[in-house]
Structure 1
Amino acid sequence: MLDLLRGTLVREGKPVAVGQKGLSLLQALVEAPTQALSRTALMEAAWSDAVVEESNLSVQIAALRKLLGPQPDGSEWIATVPRTGYRFAGSVHVLDPAADDALPSQLAGLSERASIAVLPFANVSGDREQAYLADGITEDIITALTRFRWFRVIGRNSSFVYKDKSVDSKQVARELGARYVLEGSVRRSGQQIRVSTQLVDAASANQIWAERYEMELTEAFAVQDAIAERVAGAIEPELLKTESLPAVGRNSGNATAWDLVRQGTWHFHHVGRQTHLRGRELFRLACKLDPELAEAHLWLGRVSAGIVAYGWSDKPAQDIREGLDAALKAVRLDEKNPYSHYALAICSIYANAQEQAVLAAERAIEISPSFALGHLAMGMGQLFRGSASEAIAPLEHGLMLNRYDPQNFVWFNVLALAYLFAGQANEGLVAAIEARKVGPTWRPTHETLACCYVSLGRLPEARSCVELMREMENPTGDALAPLRLRNPHWADQMADLLKKAGWQQ
């Protein structure tokens, strides 16, 4: 069974380890059974974003034949068509994924990529003429979500079947094959607009995330774009964290590379030395199991940067090199995935390659304008290369899109430093306090707080921060090392401020 929704190949109820290129080729072949597909068409199916030699196709076809084995009559599943290409020689039976009994029971529990249906937002303004605004916001959110490559979005025409109908999430899940449902309402009063939205796990009917947005209605299209960007940017990390949960407890012995990635992301989001190191082990194993799975490589890049940044690495130069190599491979495998470019950006920052970091972040934002981590990495790269004032806007924007990330103490601390070095200590203090709320035990935040307090002439508060710093464990690494190395004048400024607060190195 080739399950296109899950991105898995299954034999007798057990997943078969097949690479991403192999899956793409197999999909192209079975979608045109008995038809001869040219080598050019198959190359386009598997390597649409890259220029590779035709011999790569022959290697992948040979690997697929070995993986599938012979048909019951002894013939190959994939036949060679002389002077043309290949065709799928077996019979194909298509199952309806929306039907309750479509999939055999053995598939229950296998990993699947998240699917989400965005139901038409309700117009609760009491004015039928405002329905266009609710529909426009719904369509914009669908479009914005489709830019995230790791989960599937139900198309607009399917979702809008439920317009003005009373349905529950389980019914939508059954009929559309969606795992999650996003629903909401739009209310307009004069020039004010309020959008309420919630994300629901369709199987359990549990609410995963909810938010309300209030904006000035100066121009309908601008409001639609702004709300769509905020919703997409906010629910994407929530879905990512939620999707990693089911895979953690399983240990069937048949884990696919995608299972391992999901388990690794669960550990990654529980920010700590042991969880990050465990996540790295899982990502490394996923890369080995499926060398062409871009997600495995980009997550290896991300976790490597985190291990170095938080001071959990015994060999930081070696670890960041591993992260850079993994991120570069992720970009080669999936150039249109914003996460690949973010992984390259964050690894480049800790490899002291700030210009490369900024370019990678720019590319991530070009691919997905509502991608919060792209904006955050852009701000960090700008700050670390010495442009404090240019770092503020992308950091503020990224934090607005991604308000609940458990690692926001890092981004708020970077924003505080950007304000401090830009001569805006008051704003820096506000950001540093936010950083302390999210991560009260991270020492760099208290360093920044102390510097802001001294800059504002508030020495007693600064000395309190220094006392807390003395009680905290001294990290083995320095999260701000690239900043200090590239900008020694800022390093001296911070040292002088901390000295006035009573800190002695």
Structure 2
Amino acid sequence: MERRLAAVLAADVAGYSLLMGRNEEGTVSQLKAFRKTLVDPTIAAYRGRIVKTTGDGMLVEFASAVDAARCAVEVQRAVARENVALPPQTRIEFRIGIHVGDIIFDDADIFGDGVNIAARLEGLSQPGGICISDDAQRQIRGKLDTPFEDMGLQNLKNIAEPMRAWRLSDAKSPALLSPDRSVETTQPLALPDKPSIAVLPFQNMSSDPEQDYFADGMVEDIITALSHYHALFVIARNSSFTYKGHAVDVKQVGRELGVRYVLEGSVRRVLDRVRVTGQLIDASTGAHLWADRFDGALKDIFDLQDDITLRVVGAIAPKLEQAEIVRAMRKPTESLDGYDYYLRAMSNFHKGGRKDISEALRLFYKAIELDDKFSSAYGMASWSYARRKLNGWADEGSSEASEAERIADRAVECGGDNAVALASSGIAIGYMFADFERAASLMDRAQALNPNLAMAWHLSGWIRCLIGRQDLAIEHLERVVRLSPVDPQRPGMLAAIATAHFAAGRFDTASSLATAAMLEQSSNFIAALVAAGANAMAGNLDIASSAMERVRALDPNFRLHKVKDRLPHRQPEVLAQWEDALRRAGLPE
């Protein structure tokens, strides 16, 4: 085993599964021909070593980044030329990623981050394109006549830090374009002023034509579910389904439909089970933002359709918000509009620290200044005030409460059809002003407007907990975790479930959930409070004392007489239980 510096090239065939599903023998034959006459000889000419192949892909090692890049460009140009003579449905296009880094060489194979990064960059590449790391770009700068354009920082799966990436510039390198893309002359549609998405028909990868109905029905359900999100622009079903049965370039789809994101997927029957895969793609760059697969029994096909719709929408909604936040963060501050301020505010809100919430409030108000009917910004600002009260960050004697009430009312006034505005203002109205009936009504309206909005179920769970409906609170909160398992607000969800279990007297469960929330977000005040109280009631006084130290560190001024302000349960016996538990854990009077 040895370490060495090398340029690593990773390549695969774009849309390989679709090509194989259409014509297995023809695809394999064409791929072999390309490998024999174009790919392998070019690699050898540039002194590359094929480390391994994986059916539709390969991993190649070069001693020089320049050799790796020149080889990649030549291969892509040669393949594009050969594709001219082929029918569109049989054309093979490669995606290539290149990185220069330290690798481990062992028994003729290579391992390490250098290899993993090349593979992730290949996933960012468009069909017929090349994507390289910043390290590789520095090595080849000025040595190729082929231009590369900056993609900015990219989050690569299982790579700790974001990495800057570069892609081959299509506009300046027409020789690399496939025949279809090179003749594009239509003017791209302007992007809407909010996140925009098209859900393409899912490919039926099995021989069972019944799966067509299942796939189409699921896509229609996903389009309908996404349409409930007030902040999204969703392409209608009739436009999306014009791509059914065609191999597509998502960048071209983005231009033709005027959307920033594309969701595509496939359905395959495996014996008596169905497997559905889905992937969310940034249409402007071709970058994969999310991918997953879902399995279920064929006999429960309609329940499976509903379940997968729920899981897909729950997974991609927070991914879309995260992608939009990253996009907004890259813009210079002088070009920001109200929506960009809102996205930056959401980024701070999700971090959850004292300074973060203060900055989120400032940015929400910036958004409101530019749009005085921005209901989501009003609602999220009121929720920010509620979080300040919950964590003990509000200045005593300040006018925060009256201002929170003003903007919560404004959110409801401007956002009667906006689930985000109704749910976020509802938590302020219920938690800060004990108007639980109105808060519950707002939550119900939000859930009716968008049954897939995790925030609405999360905040509804808190309100039900405070009015004494613990089992309903837990039901709503567990639905949230199912709807959005990777949500930035997950620690708050777990802390809320823990609070409901504590109120119901299930102290061991409450302690376990509170500990999990603290591990995910050490600054979560409620999680620390539940851990202290639940362990005290369970007789685990050492653990309770340790958790109480965390509570005191997060809020040195917290005392027993403030419990009813922080946790305004409507049931006196629950408040008495909290005070007894926290007294045992060591909280001063």
TM-score normalised by length of structure 1: 0.72
Matched, 1:486 2:567: no
| Aligned mate of 1:497, from 568, 578, 581 | 581
- Aligned partner of 1:423 in structure 2 is 505
Matched, 1:265 2:371: no
| Aligned mate of 1:213, from 294, 298, 304 | 294
- Aligned partner of 2:479 in structure 1 is 397
Matched, 1:318 2:399: yes
- Aligned partner of 1:233 in structure 2 is 314
Matched, 1:180 2:252: no
CA contact (8 A) 2:278 2:291 kept: yes
Matched, 1:413 2:495: yes
- What is the percentage of aligned positions where both structures have the same residue? 33
| Alpha-carbon offset, residue 446 of structure 1 | 2.4
| Aligned mate of 1:127, from 208, 227, 233 | 208
Distance 1:359 1:232 in 2: 25
Distance 1:302 1:383 in 2: 17
Matched, 1:290 2:371: yes
Mapping of residues 426-441 of structure 1, within 5 Å: 426-441=508-523
- Aligned partner of 2:424 in structure 1 is 343
Distance 1:443 1:117 in 2: 40
Unaligned runs of 5+ in 2: 1-183
Amino acid at match of 1:203: S
| Alpha-carbon offset, residue 251 of structure 1 | 4.5
| Alpha-carbon offset, residue 116 of structure 1 | 0.5
Matched, 1:164 2:241: no
Q: 1:470–1:265: structure 2 CA closer, same or farther, 3 Å change rule?
A: closer
- Aligned partner of 2:222 in structure 1 is 141
Deviations 1:389-418 (A, max 9, x none): 221100110121122222322221111121
CA contact (8 A) 2:386 2:428 kept: yes
| Alpha-carbon offset, residue 363 of structure 1 | 0.5
Aligned-partner SS, 1:116: strand
CA contact (8 A) 2:457 2:476 kept: yes
Matched, 1:276 2:357: yes
| Alpha-carbon offset, residue 191 of structure 1 | 5.5
CA contact (8 A) 2:195 2:232 kept: yes
| Alpha-carbon offset, residue 236 of structure 1 | 1.6
Deviations 1:62-85 (A, max 9, x none): xxxxxxxxxxxxxxxxxxxxxxxx
Q: 1:376–1:113: structure 2 CA closer, same or farther, 3 Å change rule?
A: same
TM-score normalised by length of structure 2: 0.62
Aligned-partner SS, 1:244: helix
- Structure with the bigger RCO (C-alpha within 8 Å, sep 6+) is 1
How many residue pairs align between the two structures? 403
CA contact (8 A) 1:312 1:476 kept: no
- Aligned partner of 1:154 in structure 2 is 235
Distance 1:390 1:397 in 2: 11
CA contact (8 A) 1:241 1:265 kept: no
CA contact (8 A) 1:261 1:299 kept: no
Aligned-partner SS, 2:247: coil
Matched, 1:381 2:433: no
| Alpha-carbon offset, residue 373 of structure 1 | 1.1
Amino acid at match of 2:570: R
Amino acid at match of 1:142: I
Aligned-partner SS, 1:336: coil
CA contact (8 A) 2:457 2:479 kept: yes
CA contact (8 A) 1:260 1:282 kept: yes
Distance 1:396 1:152 in 2: 28
Which stretch shifts more, 334-343 or 241-250? 241-250
| Alpha-carbon offset, residue 133 of structure 1 | 1.2
Of Structure 1 and Structure 2, the greater strand share is in 2
Which stretch shifts more, 294-303 or 399-408? 294-303
CA contact (8 A) 1:185 1:197 kept: yes
Q: 1:252–1:485: structure 2 CA closer, same or farther, 3 Å change rule?
A: closer
Q: 1:342–1:484: structure 2 CA closer, same or farther, 3 Å change rule?
A: closer
- Aligned partner of 1:354 in structure 2 is 436
Aligned-partner SS, 2:399: helix
Which stretch shifts more, 371-380 or 238-247? 238-247
| Alpha-carbon offset, residue 369 of structure 1 | 0.9
Q: 1:412–1:243: structure 2 CA closer, same or farther, 3 Å change rule?
A: same
Distance 2:295 2:405 in 1: 41
Unaligned runs of 5+ in 1: 1-97
CA contact (8 A) 2:188 2:256 kept: no
Distance 1:475 1:435 in 2: 23
| Alpha-carbon offset, residue 500 of structure 1 | 3.8
Amino acid at match of 1:244: I
Q: Which structure is larger by alpha-carbon Rg, 1 or 2?
A: 2
CA contact (8 A) 1:355 1:381 kept: no
Amino acid at match of 2:450: S
CA RMSD of aligned residues (A): 3.0
CA contact (8 A) 1:294 1:331 kept: yes
Amino acid at match of 1:491: L
